[in-house]
Amino acid sequence: MPQKTWTKLPPWALLACRDILRAATANRRLVDILNEITDIITGLSDLDLAPSAALYIGECGQEGHRLLYHRHSDDLIFPLVIDPENISDSFPQGFGRASFYPVPLVIGEGERSIGSALFFGRTAKRMSAQKQTILMALAQEIARIIINRGGPSGTLIDLVELSTDEIYIFDPLSLAIVRANHTASIRTGHSLETLSRMTPAALKVDMSEAAYRAQIEPLLSGRCTSICFDARHRRRNGTVYPVKVQAWRIRSDEGDFYAEVAVTTADQRKAFGLLEQVFDAIPGGIGVFDKRSRLLMANRRLYDLMNIPPEQFPPGSRFEDILRYNATRGEYGDGNVEAMVRERVEQAELGLPYSFERERASGKVLAVRSEPLSGGGYVLSYTDITLRKRAEKELIRDRDELEATVRQRTAEIAAQAAALEEALKQEKTINAMQRQFVAMTSHEFRTPLAIIDGAAQRLMRKKGGIEPDFLVDKTHQIRAAVMRMVDLMESILSAGRIDTGRMELTLVDCSLKKLIEQAIHRQRMFSQNHRFQGFLEDLPDVIRCDALAISQVVTNLLGNAVKYAPRAPDVTIRGWREGEFAMISVQDQGVGIDADDIPKLFQPYFRARTSTGIAGTGIGLSLVKQVVTLHGGDIVLQSRRGHGSTFTIRLPIRGPVTVGTSLQLEEKAL
């Protein structure tokens, strides 16, 4: 289910989810975790939230949602309880100035809400519906963390509520009352809200905050776990009544509570009874031992967690007997029972605090902590952290999955960016090629047009009788120029077809020898200054190919052999067979090509340095190469500057193998 939400989130919210899970998987108190998570969420610039925020939790059997955690802003006071149905009305004043987002704390779609998270926009401008959905997804992570942490240790709070004595849980630093019970409100006449803005000292007659602090100093410094003193409380209406004050520091898995119990009778026994109740209400197991390691007092949970029978180990029992009982049952693993007992007793009696985690044979995980008492002795606490450990594992797994999602999404985005960049690069190359092409073709067409024009003008000037030789010569020039333009256009068209993947081969069985001879014949007509020598007897009789395309290839090579050898008249054409292949080579004695130009020669529009001063487009050879490749053959070149060139083509006699090519072949019987 969480993954389902994650897939809809933008990358910045995914990262926030990952950070939230990271914060939660650290082994820390819930309040610290909530603090960090609130930091993460209110710190997201995309959401533009104010730093103040609050988390409210519904408790069984209670109307409304109770304040679990909050962060003040100067102009905002959070009520202790809100009505989840009507959150805005729960705030007395200072409201409506900023945009306000109550978000239900649910662990997934269709689940019941366990409370509400309140966030505030930095300005009055409301965030978009899409961002509010993201805020809800983030709050969902908070809900899961609170549930995994087993809720805000409700039992102790319930007991405080039920007590018929005044109980104040207060903050040790500011002394501010963070929670007071209904009895306190009834006795003092102050509302719970007023009490939440007071300190226990303020309730007392003739006691300054400094005096109160001095009174509970042993508690704050950790020297004692409880302090008792007499005081007088003043009611809201001014009347005064005596109280016996018992102040406690109570350790719990969620951190230390500082609580004051104000008993109106001088009955110490009742206070002690209350202590026992408080002890029993603490979710963990607690045992107080004296300096000789005898059990003074223990709560029921201690017996449960240590899995020891209460009747066998009543107060007064020796710690080592309890340890021996467990060691004998194999609770501490294999080893010498007495040695294991001695080691543990010695550690406890050292008078130093220590803590460790232990997995029991049953799979239960316990956190064990020992705190020395000022007058000797120590308090042992056992907390069942099995669920927390399991939740931690789940959170770590969730976090890892989320990290994988983040990685995958990041990779997807990177791939998209790379593809875009590639497309952009291609577009740029195509643009450049087009510019180059337009410049070149316009230049290339101009030359034959000038020849035609020149020949026509000379014919016109002759007006009267034109000698047959003159006519033949000019007509010849015009035809050659036209032929050159037709060739040029054809190669441009073919190049375009190949570029767009629309080139189709029309395969026929044909005689390569005849095809080459025809090409030589055509070439002879236009290049009367050159001598063409053909050695074609060893060619196979027929090969399967696109006759037109191959004829164009040969014509191209012959044309180049003539063009790039203006002062070397001999062109040699050879044909032979090598296994399943027909071979054709065209050799000239012309300008040749520099070694470092050879690898680039078949690229479109590339022209070798030796071609300077000779007209050309750089299209022909790239076309030759592509036609040969489409046929499943290849072309190689041997050349040296000033020593001529030999182009050798290899074509499969049976035509191209079609598997894996995108060719559309059209079979035509010869």
Positions in the binding site for ligand ADP (CB under 6 A): 560-561, 564, 588, 590-593, 601, 607-608, 610-611, 616-622, 645
SS3 category, 570: strand
| Alpha carbons 629 and 615: distance in angstroms, whole number | 26
Q: Which residue is nearest to ligand ADP (CB)?
A: 616
* Cβ–Cβ under 8 Å, residues 647 and 635: yes
- Output 175 or 586, the one with its CB closest to ligand ADP: 586
Which residues lie below 8 Å from residue 359, measured CB to CB, with a gap of 6+?
Answer: 365, 366
Contacts (Cβ under 8 Å, ≥6 apart) of 480 = 451, 526
Tell me the closest approach of the beta carbon of residue 454 to ligand ADP, in angstroms: 22
Residue with tokens 């291609």: 426
For ligand ADP, the closer of residues 527 and 617 by Cβ is 617
Are residues 262 and 175 in contact, defined by beta-carbon separation less than 8 angstroms?
no
- Select 13 or 628, whichever has its Cβ closest to ligand ADP: 628
Supply the minimum distance, in Å, between the C-beta of residue 494 and ligand ADP: 12
Q: Between β-strands 570-578 and 531-535, what pairing exists: parallel, antiparallel or unpaired?
A: parallel
Contact between 50 and 121 under an 8 Å Cβ cutoff? The reply is yes
* Residue 442 beta carbon to ligand ADP: minimum distance, rounded to whole angstroms: 15
The smaller minimum CB distance to ligand ADP, of residues 247 and 619, is found at 619
CB of 614 to ligand ADP, least distance (A): 7
SS3 330: coil
Write down the least CB distance from residue 523 to ligand ADP, Å.
Answer: 13
C-alpha 185/C-alpha 167 separation (Å) is 10
Distances (CA, A) of 609 to 595, 600, 614: 11, 11, 10
List the strands of the sheet with 295-298, edge to edge: 295-298, 285-289, 378-384, 365-372, 354-359
Closest contact distance (angstroms) between CB of 539 and ligand ADP is: 21
Residue 22 or 607 having the CB closest to ligand ADP: 607
Nearer to ligand ADP, 620 or 633 (CB): 620
Structure tokens at 461: 């000037």
- Rounded to a whole number of angstroms, the minimum distance from the CB of residue 621 to ligand ADP is 3
Closest CA to 622 of 607, 602, 639, 600: 602
Question: Which among 78, 125, 77 has a CA at the least distance from the CA of 97?
Answer: 125
Give the shortest CB-455-to-ligand ADP separation in angstroms.
23
Contact 511, 582 (CB under 8 A): no
Closer of 324 and 641 to ligand ADP (Cβ): 641
When the beta carbons of 6 and 564 are compared against ligand ADP, the nearer one is 564
From CA 612, how far away is CA 610, in angstroms rounded?
A: 6
Structure tokens at 317: 């029992």
The owner of tokens 């190919």 is 545
Give whichever of 576 and 602 is closer to ligand ADP, judged by the CB atom. Answer: 602
Q: How far is the CB of 450 from ligand ADP (least distance, A)?
A: 18
**Which of 552, 574, 575, 573 has the alpha carbon at shortest distance from 623?**
552
Q: Which is nearer to ligand ADP, 242 or 534 (CB)?
A: 534
In terms of CB distance, is 222 or 566 closer to ligand ADP?
566
How many CB atoms sit inside 10 A of residue 280's CB? 16
What's the rounded Cα separation, in Å, for the pair 415 and 598? Answer: 35
Nearer to ligand ADP, 152 or 590 (CB): 590
Q: Which is nearer to ligand ADP, 62 or 447 (CB)?
A: 447
CB of 610 to ligand ADP, least distance (A): 6
294 secondary structure, DSSP code: B
Distance CA(188)–CA(359), nearest Å, equals 47
**395 alpha carbon, distance to own chain's centre:** 17
For residues 52 and 617, which CB has a smaller minimum distance to ligand ADP in the complex? Answer: 617
Q: Taking the complex as a whole, how short is the minimal distance between the CB of residue 652 and ligand ADP, in angstroms?
A: 24
How many other C-beta atoms are found inside a 10 Å radius of the C-beta of residue 622? 20
DSSP 55-75: EEEE-TT-SSEEEEEEE-BTT
For residue 362, the 8-state DSSP code is T
Residue 466 CB, nearest approach to ligand ADP (Å):
34
Rounded distance between C-alpha atoms, residue 168 and residue 195, angstroms: 9
Query: Residue 178, Cβ neighbours under 10 Å: how many?
Result: 14
Shortest distance, position 549 Cβ to ligand ADP, whole Å:
15
Q: How far is the CB of 593 from ligand ADP (least distance, A)?
A: 5
Radius of gyration of the chain (CA): 48
